[in-house]
Amino acid sequence: MPRIIFFQPDGQRREVEAPVGSSVMLAAVQNNVRGIDADCGGCCSCATCHCYVDAAFLERLPAPEDMELEMLGGTAAERRPNSRLGCQIAMTAELDGLVVRLPDRQV
């Protein structure tokens, strides 16, 4: 099963397994990783699963759809070039070892 390495806002490193097809947001919630709110439950409506994807993985991810890009305009923490919404990143085998940093606030 592919792994995701989260860095929580407190700096703690959390390595979790995420089934293929599951989202980065869901992996965080199900493993009690701190720093993701996910208020809308993963339907790209709230922008509270904002995360920063490690540059080495950015190109391996499918490009964000328009809706995600538009919602990223509403993140509480600074939007950066590697900002994504965790609910819109589906895990694949190729993403094994994905490194994701979580911002200090989601609202």
Nearest distance from C-beta of residue 61 to other proteins, angstroms: 19
Q: Which of 29, 51, 91, 98 binds other proteins (CB under 8 A)?
A: 29
Query: Which of 78, 85, 72, 3 has the alpha carbon at shortest distance from 36?
Result: 85
Distance from C-alpha of 76 to C-alpha of 67, rounded to nearest angstrom = 17
By CB under 8 A, residue 39 contacts other proteins: yes
Minimal distance, residue 55 CB to other proteins, in Å: 25
Binding-site member from 4, 26, 51, 89 for other proteins (CB under 8 A): 26
Residue 13 lies near other proteins (rule: CB under 8 A): no
What are the residues binding other proteins (CB under 8 A)? 22, 26, 29-32, 38-47, 67, 70-71, 73-74
